[in-house]
Structure 1
Amino acid sequence: MDTITHTLFGLGLYGAVNKRDMDKNTKRAYLLTAVGASQIPDIDVISRLWDTEGLYQMWHRGITHSVFLTPVWALLFFLLSFLLFKVKDKKLFLLGWLAVFIHNTSDLFNAWGTGYLEPFSNMRITFGTIPIVDLVIWFIMGTAFIYSRRNKLISPYYFRVAWAFLLVHVIIQSTQGFIIYKQYDDQYDQVALSADFIPWTFSVITKKDDEVIIFNDNLFKKEETQYVLQSRETADLDKLFSQRPEARTLYEWSPFVVLVDDDERLGLYDPRFYRNGQSFLFEYIEKNTER
């Protein structure tokens, strides 16, 4: 999910806590833990600073997003709460654990995926049923905030209801995505799903032999063909990989790629992010020149 959504998750967790009998420092500790732990897995973005081998694509949402690391992050914020605010409350550890778990698990549902089982498996797990920016989640959390301001005495109730609605939203959206995915699974060699910003609407990316077709589909209308792409499966990628190590990482990271080998470029791209004639995950070299 995007940074705003993870922040909303943290604020939503903080809002769901009954803080009526808390002093100022305890409230600060809970706010730091709820919001900070909801963001901490994305600290991996700093790995760009020392990435000299084109591995950032694999590092991002890698080990920091592992479900096995969630208690470690929770312990970090438990200790920070004690060091900064002198608050020692075991519920802070549980809150931090829940916040990190929600971050890592929610990222499974969009097309980018995570290394959820690292270090025991480097497989990228992705369901593709929820968009990275989900305006429905924003609306649900925003509504809870508005109602909580109107009646502060029962403020946690509104956020707890919001979490229930959010869970229902994810279940409904993901169930529809799974049904659509199964409709294509038997017809193509490979299938991937990417949720659109419009609720209950999906891009279905299929590959059979050297042809990649991207459909727009939902359960309430006939599918529409958006793009038909040709992949040059016989392309020799050795030169590409030697000059652009990021290309090898993308090749290993993506469920499948489209290979480009024409008079101008040798490269590959992830068709899940193909929009308006190009994917923003595209690694290539110019023919006869160095990029």
Structure 2
Amino acid sequence: MDSVTHTLFGLALYGTIDKSKFDSKTKKAYFTTAVGASLIPDIDVISQLWDTDGLYQMWHRGITHSIFLTPIWALLFYLLAILLFKVKDKRLFFLGLLAVFIHNTSDLFNAWGTGYLEPFSSIRITFGTIPIVDLVFWIILAVAFLLSRKNKKLSPFYFRAAWGFIILHLVIQTAQGALIYKNYQADYEQIALSADFVPWNFTVITKTGDEVMLFHDNLFKEKELLYTLKSSEDADLEELFVEKPEAKTLVEWSPFVVIVEDEERIGVYDPRFYRNGQSFLFEYLEMR
């Protein structure tokens, strides 16, 4: 998910808590833990400042997003609450644990995927059933916020209900995505999903041999072919990987890629992000 959504998730977690008996420092400790822990896995973006080997794509959503690192982040915020606010409350550890778990797990459901099992596995887990920016989440949380402003005593109830609707939306989207994915399995060698911004709609990316096809699909109408792409599977990518290590990272990170080799350039791109004739994840070399 994007940083705005992760921030909203943190605020929504904070909103579920009954703070009527909290003093000012305790409120600050809970707020910092809920929001800070909801964002902390994305601290890996700073790796791009020193990355000279083209590994940033692997580092981002890498080990900092590992489920095994979750208690470490939670402990960090528990200790920060003691250090900064002099609040020693073991519930803060569990709040931090839940916030990081939600961040890492929600990232599994969009097309970017995440290194959920690092360091024990480098596989990038991606379901592709939720868009990176899901406006349904925003609408649900906006309604909870507006209701909580009208009746502050019921604020925790509204935000808890919002989490219920978020989970319901996630289940419905993912169940539909799984059914659509299953419909393609018999006909194509490789398949990937990318959820559209409109709920219940998906882009299905398939690859068989050197042919990559992109379809628009949902459960309520016939699929629509969007693009047919050819991949130069016999191309020698050794020089590309040497000159552009980002390309090798992209190949390792993506479920599959389209290889481009013509008179102008040689490169690889991720077809899950193919729009209007190009993918914004495209690493290439100009031919000399």
Alignment-mate amino acid for residue 130 of structure 1:
I
Distance (Å, rounded) in 2 between the aligned partners of 1:3 and 1:274: 23
The residue type paired with residue 150 of structure 2 is: R
1:200 partner SS:
coil
**Which residue number in structure 2 is paired with residue 141 of structure 1?**
141
**Is the counterpart of residue 281 in structure 1 residue 288 in structure 2?**
no
Residues 1:80 and 2:80 are matched in the alignment: yes
Partner of 2:32: 32
Q: Residue 46 of structure 1 aligns with which residue?
A: 46
Q: Which residue of 2 is the match for residue 206 of structure 1?
A: 206
Count of residues paired in the alignment = 288
1:59 corresponds in structure 2 to 59
Whichever residue aligns with residue 189 of structure 1, its letter is: E
CA distance in 1 between partners of 2:73 and 2:258 (Å): 37
Aligned residue number for residue 176 of structure 1: 176
Deviation per CA, 1:130-167: give whole Å up to 9, x if none: 00000000000010000000000111000000000000
1:95-110 → structure 2 map (5 Å cutoff): 95-110=95-110
Distance, in Å, in 1 between the alignment partners of 2:92 and 2:157 is 20
The residue type equivalent to 2:77 in the other structure is: F
Partner of 1:8 in structure 2?
8
Counterpart Cα distance in 2 of 1:24 and 1:252 = 48
Aligned residue type for 1:139: I
Distance in structure 2 (CA, Å) of the matches to 1:175 and 1:146: 30
1:237 paired with 2:229, answer no
- Post-superposition CA distance 1:203-230 (Å, at most 9, x none): 0000011000000000001100011100
Instruction: Find the aligned partners of 2:159 and 2:216 in 1 and give their Cα distance.
Output: 34
Provide, for residues 229-282 of structure 1, a one-character-per-residue CA deviation record: whole Å limited to 9, x for no partner. 000111110111111010011011110000000010100000000011100000
- Name the SS of the counterpart of 1:222 in structure 2: coil
Distance 2:252 2:106 in 1: 23
1:216 corresponds in structure 2 to 216
Q: How far apart, CA to CA, are the structure 2 residues paired with 1:197 and 1:86?
A: 43
- Quote the offset at 1:4 in angstroms: 0.6
TM-score (norm 2): 1.00
| 1:64 positional shift | 0.2
Q: Give 1:106 shift.
A: 0.1
Q: Which amino acid aligns with 1:102?
A: I
User: Does residue 22 in structure 1 map to residue 22 in structure 2?
Assistant: yes
Q: Secondary structure at the match of 2:222?
A: strand
Please name the residue that 2:125 is paired with.
125
What's the CA shift string for 1:12-32, capped at 9, x where partnerless? 000000101000000000000
Amino acid corresponding to residue 106 of structure 2 in structure 1: S
Amino acid at match of 2:129: T
The CA deviation string for residues 166-216 of structure 1, in whole angstroms up to 9 with x for no partner, is: 000000000000000000011101000000000000000000110000000
Once residues 86 and 256 of structure 1 are traced to their aligned partners in structure 2, the CA distance between those partners, rounded to angstroms, is 50
Alpha-carbon distance between aligned partners in 1 of 2:147 and 2:99, rounded to the nearest angstrom: 23
Query: Aligned to 1:221, what secondary structure does the other structure show?
Result: coil
Q: CA deviation at 1:50?
A: 1.2
Cα distance in 1 for partners of 2:62, 2:26 equals: 32
Aligned match of 2:71: 71
Task: List runs of 5+ in structure 2 lacking aligned partners.
Answer: none
Secondary structure, counterpart of 2:191 in structure 1? strand
Residue identity opposite 1:254 in structure 2: S
Distance in 2, Cα, partners of 1:196 & 1:231: 24
Paired letter, 1:232 = S
Matched with 1:225 is 225
Question: C-alpha distance in 2, partners of 1:109/1:251?
Answer: 20
Which residue identity lines up with residue 74 of structure 1 in the other structure? A
Q: Supply the AA of the counterpart residue of 1:141.
A: L
Helix, strand or coil at the partner of 1:82: helix
RMSD: 0.4
Aligned to 1:90: 90
Tell me the amino acid that sits aligned with residue 172 of structure 1. Answer: I
